[in-house]
Amino acid sequence: MDFTPAWFLRGPHAQSIWGRLVRPRRRVTSRREALQTPDGDELIVDHLDAPDASVHFILLHGLEGSTNSVYIQGTLAAIAARGQSATAINFRSCARDPRELSRMLPNRRPRFYHSGETEDLDFVVRTMAARMPDTPLVTFGASLGGNATLKWLGEHPGQKLIAAAATLSVPYDLGAGAAYLERGAGPLYVNRFLKTLKTKVLRVIEEFPDTRLDVDRVMRSRTFREFDDVATAPLHGFADADDYYRRSSSLQYLSRITTPTLCVSADDDPFLPSEVLDRARAEASPFIEFRITRGGGHVGFISGVAPWRCVYWAEELAVNWLLEKVESEA
C-alpha cells in the first residue's frame, strides 16, 4: 500500500497541521486509570476496552500531546474498528482532565517527561503483560513517543513482552532535529511547544520550591536547545542539552532491536533533516522495516479525494501491519 498525498494537502506543513485543525479529539470511549508508579507518582492511562480482543495495543503520543491528540484518537478508532483493545499512555504532565481538556493534571514529582524517558513505558508494558498474560502486546509511538519506543526496544534486546512495534515520524537524532527546527518555519512549531513547556516548568518550581532552575533563562529560551539546556536536562539528570540529546536519541539503539518493528517517516518531515533518515536506515537491525514516503509531513500522511473524505494512511498502515505481524507469529 503506497502513500499519495491528498491533492489539497501537498506541502509538508499542510500535511502536518491539517489533522490538528479538523479532526475530533474524542473519537472513542475510553476508561481512565491512574497507575501508581514505582517512584511514587501517578501515571494516567486511558484504556480502550474490547472483551474479545486478540491483541492489545500500547500507544505513546508525541511532544506536548496526550491521549486526546488527534493521531492517537485516530489510531484508537482504527484499533476499535478491528475489535482490538488498547492502553494509551499520557506522559507525566500531559494528562488532561476529561471534563476540561485544557487543564493538565498535576504531578507528584519535580519532573515531567522527555524524548528518552522509557521507565514509564517499561512500567506500563510490564503492568499490562501481568494483567493480560495470554494476550499479545504491541506498541505504537508517534514522534517523541516513537523515539521512546525504539529506545526501549533497543534497551531490551531479546525481550518477549512486546510482539511487534510501529512508529511514525521519529526524530532519531534529537540534536539534528533541534538544529533543523531553528530555521525556516521551524520556530513557528517550536514556539507553540515552548509555550506550554514553560508553563509546566513554572508549575514545577511553584509546587517544588527546592527545584533549582534559572527561571529567567527558561522564560527567555526561544529554541529547543536553549530550553533543553536550562530545563529538560537539569530536571531529568542530564548535564546539558548535548548530554540529553546524545543519551536519548533512538538512532544509537536501532542496531540492538530484535522485535519486528515498522518505522514510517516522510522525506519532507519539517521536524527532521532527511539525511537523518539515511543514517537511521544504515544503523537499523534486520528486524526493522522502513517506509519512507514522498511527502506526508510530520505525523500527517493524509490522502483522500476531498477534504471531507481524508484517509490517515499511516495510522491505518500501522494498525494493520501490527495485527498481521502478530498473526504471522501465532
CA dihedral 266, 271, 276, 278 (to 10 degrees): 10
Asked whether 63 and 193 are in contact (CB, 8 A), the reply is yes
Encode the chain (330 residues) as per-residue pLDDT tens digits.
789 999 999 999 999 999 999 999 999 999 999 999 999 899 999 999 999 999 999 999 999 999 999 999 999 999 999 999 999 999 999 986 655 444 555 566 778 899 999 999 999 999 999 999 999 999 999 999 999 999 999 999 999 999 999 999 999 999 999 999 999 999 999 999 999 999 999 988 888 888 888 999 999 999 999 999 999 999 999 999 999 999 999 999 999 999 999 999 999 999 999 999 999 999 999 999 999 999 999 999 999 999 999 999 999 999 999 999 999 886
Name the CATH topology of 12-173+255-329: Rossmann fold (3.40.50)
Which residue's C-alpha cell is 514522498?
Answer: 294
In DSSP notation, 263-276 reads EEEETT-TTS-HHH
Q: Please name which of 121, 116, 91 lies closest in space to residue 105, comparing C-alpha atoms.
A: 91
183's CB contacts (< 8 A; 6+ apart) are none
CA separation for the pair 157, 325 (Å, rounded): 18
Burial class (CB in 10 A: 0-12, 13-18, 19+), 316: middle
The domain segmentation of the chain, as residue ranges, is 12-173+255-329, 177-248
User: Whole-model pTM above 0.85?
Assistant: yes
